[in-house]
Amino acid sequence: MRTIVYADGGCDPNPGPGGWGVVIEAESGRIERCGGDRATTNNRMELTAAINALRHFPEGAQIEMRCDSQYVIKSVTEWMRGWKAKGWRTATGPVKNVELMQELDALAARRDVRWTWVRGHAGEAGNERADRLAAQGRREALGLPPRPETGPAPLTGTAALRAAAAPAVSQAALATAPAAAEPAPARTSAIPLDLGLGLEVSRAAKASGLTPQAYVERAVRLALDLGPEGLERARADLRDAKGAKGAPTP
């Protein structure tokens, strides 16, 4: 029987501070992992999530890896064989993120992995949880506390035993319990954007696999989380990273 694993990663903005999250549906209970980097890319975080998920398992383990990243899925199932045959090169040059690709390939080769693409933000609980963990990992990389909606980590040890020993609620009690009220629709407000900026947002949202509204909401939340000083530090780190990337090789 294969163990179901969800892996997700993200970056806001891209490139910029990012995080990864993993949810492992083990027989003994759910296991969660997350982490992040202050200066990275969306694709690197997606690959890092899958790598950390595979590291958890011993060689020979049977796994179903569920990712919402076509980049990860197609890299492993379609493109990697050709890259390896050409010395980890593509028609246009070296494979991007090659060190992560090589590590992912080595880990997957020693395990029985079934790679499954799932649509992101489509209501699949494990994928949604992995996404929230990735956001938590990004916050940790920035030195920020976790958001309350990320939720608690799974219970382990004594806490898990106590939870298991708690009396269960009978089906009859559930049937007679009053129905929960329907949640009120979220209240929104329109914020006008300059036409040029709006086009940039649309392109960036498409590249991230998000709607423009979801992309803007993430960007605003990140800016609020960082605050004015944290936002300037992140922008300075990003400028330094871009400057180092573009600097001539000595």
112 classed as catalytic: no
Instruction: Give the helix ranges, DSSP H, for the chain.
Output: 42-55, 70-74, 80-85, 98-109, 125-141, 157-165, 171-176, 195-208, 212-246
- Asked if residue 25 lies in contact with residue 4, where contact means CB atoms within 8 angstroms, the answer is yes
Residue tagged active-site, from 12, 32, 37, 131: 131
Residue tagged active-site, from 68, 120, 126, 137: 68
59 classed as catalytic: no
240 classed as catalytic: no
Cis peptide before 15 (omega within 30 of 0): yes
Residue tagged active-site, from 29, 78, 99, 121: 121
- Residue 54's identity, in one-letter code, is L
Residue tagged active-site, from 8, 12, 32, 37: 8
68 classed as catalytic: yes
Residue tagged active-site, from 16, 21, 46, 120: 46
Stated as kind and residue range, the H or E segment containing 22 is: strand 16-26
How far from 148 is each of 76, 132, 223, CA to CA, in Å? 35, 11, 17
225 classed as catalytic: no
56 classed as catalytic: no
Active-site residues: which are they? 8-9, 46, 68, 121, 131
